A and B are shown apart, each in its own frame.
Chain A
């Protein structure tokens, strides 16, 4: 089965520190796309960062970067210089291809940022 697993229901980080959120996935496909979405209390789903599986280089977007380990099927999100506005639920998601372009989501990690 094609799955996405987030094993950390909750995480906490001090403001200005760095935190890493874990995500593992399972697929037999060789090419696929991985995403991290942020969901604040407003419920809006905000795309944080994305990675194509065939690209070796880890994606980076400002303070957000990923550690993509294809052999280990791991896709962790690192948030540097954490800010209060980073507090939210974070979802890892995968698009394993096919005609529908649908996303498979993990169960999320609730990130708290301590001042």
Chain B
């Protein structure tokens, strides 16, 4: 079984460009989470999506950032007009359901996309 697949692994963008990060969850998982890891920091929650719905975007900046998880295809994290402060590793994680019992449905993480803004 393939795990969570993220691409690209590395992405370089100039200031003002758009960055699109893709995440294919584990087959059969319908819940996707995006986390951001700034240098020397832990992972910070950004957004939680189910198929075609954003459930919790409390950790996502209000401007320039958006996320989607369409009925078909991967989840996309989109950053418009990138700035140097957006440089980070972005991780996607998936789970089969959003029960409180995360012990039984732990998050499966991808290997992340490292975004560098020059």
Residues of chain A whose beta carbon lies under 8 Å from any beta carbon of chain B: 4, 6, 33, 35, 37, 42-45, 47, 50, 52, 91, 93, 95, 97-108
Contact = CB atoms under 8 A, between A and B. Distances in A.
Interface in B31-50: 31, 33, 35, 40-45, 48
A33 B103 contact: yes
Interface of B: 31, 33, 35, 40-45, 48, 55-56, 59, 89, 91, 93, 95, 98-100, 102-103, 105-107, 109, 111-112, 114
Contacts of A95: 102
B114 A101 contact: no
B102 A107 contact: no
Given A33-B102, A103-B107, 19 more contacts: A6-B42, A33-B103, A35-B106, A43-B111, A43-B114, A45-B91, A47-B106, A91-B42, A91-B43, A93-B43, A100-B48, A100-B98, A101-B100, A101-B102, A101-B105, A102-B59, A105-B35, A105-B43, A105-B44
Contacts of A105: 35, 42-44
Nearest to A95: B102
Given A101-B31, A107-B41, A45 B103 contact: no
Contacts of B111: 42-44
Contacts of A97: 100
A91 B109 CA distance: 13
B103 A50 contact: yes
A73 to B, nearest CB: 17
Given A35-B106, A45-B109, A103 B114 contact: no
B9 to A, nearest CB: 9
A8 to B, nearest CB: 13
Closest 4 CB pairs of A and B: A105-B42, A45-B109, A100-B56, A105-B43
23 contacts: A33-B103, A42-B111, A43-B114, A45-B112, A47-B106, A50-B106, A52-B103, A100-B55, A100-B56, A101-B33, A101-B48, A101-B98, A101-B107, A102-B33, A102-B48, A102-B56, A103-B35, A103-B43, A103-B107, A105-B43, A106-B42, A107-B40, A108-B42
